[in-house]
Amino acid sequence: MSSALSHLPRDWRFWLLALALVAILAALVAPRVALTRTARDILLVVDVTGSMNVRDTVLDGAPATRLASARRGARALLAGLPCQSRLGLGIFTERRTFLLFEPAEVCENFAAIDGAIDGLDWHMAWEGDSYVARGVHSALAIAGGLKADLLFMTDGHEAPPLAGGLPGFDAKPGDVQGLLVGVGGTEPSPIPKFDEDGREIGFYDEQDVPQENRTGAPPADAPSRAGWNPRNAPWGGEPASGTEHLSAMREEHLRALAAQTGLGFAALGTAPALLADVEANTRPRPVQVRVATAAVPAALALFCLAVLFGLGAASSRRRGRLPSR
């Protein structure tokens, strides 16, 4: 009886070792399985106009510019997109979007795309104006030509302010899907001012920026303004006053622009929230991926070997504690 029991552990270890060997061989010849997953094609456009320099966001516990927060959110989105998704990059300034590069596969080109996003800077802007609505219209035309969805990150600050509401949109709303992402706080904050060498020298004052858009027809209340003359001063005889030198994320304006163009809207939040908003407002593209199955038998082999050597070590410790005769 004792002789039979003494052979049992050796037989058990042998079969466990044999199972591990078979599992290793299976891992070496395991096939790849074709699965269907979803990817996305996105044109990312980031506003680089002057109001994006306002420091009313927080990164790592410290005040940060809107542009820095937009870059952080864009890089997190890039990291969250599945392989075979494609991401292109553009910037908005003045009244149009400028395409930096067309959508490229995110995994093969991750370092290059990530570096390009991290390098976005307000110095790229070539004009001081910020016609956001026209920039979104321009971006939609580019995205449509690329057969991509649009992700447009902006604070929505129009400079000079719009006269008479949103400009007309010639395309069909919803032809290009996508998302307007509002960046910045909701309370007006001063806009940093820079000299010709790019050094910050303070903030814009009321007199530094147009407080009213004086193109087109004068408003209905123009005759009641001081110094009004229908020929020489149709807008009134005194400079307009206002708060256009302060900037906040213009959520109401961005929502109206989203409704006009058929886009969604979301304020920039956490990385998971941004990824969820993008997934909800862009079109999934089914792709075939080949997934290796070798990990399953390899894990079984590792488990068998861990049990084998673990029990062997425990048995050795028990033998070491037995009293000598």
Return the domain boundaries, the chain: 36-209+244-288
The sign of the torsion formed by the CA atoms of 224, 228, 229, 231 equals negative
Residue type, 113: I
pLDDT in tens, 66-98: 999 999 999 999 999 999 999 999 999 988 999
CATH of segment(s) 36-209+244-288: 3.40.50.410
Q: Which residue has 């009641």 as its token pair?
A: 224
- Mean pLDDT (10-residue bins), the chain, 325 residues: 48 75 80 81 96 95 96 97 96 94 96 97 86 96 97 94 87 95 95 89 87 69 68 65 89 96 96 95 86 80 81 66 54
Alpha helices per DSSP H over the chain: 2-29, 66-80, 110-118, 132-146, 251-261, 271-281, 295-321
pLDDT in tens, 175-198: 999 999 999 999 999 999 998 888
Tokens found for residue 260: 């006009």
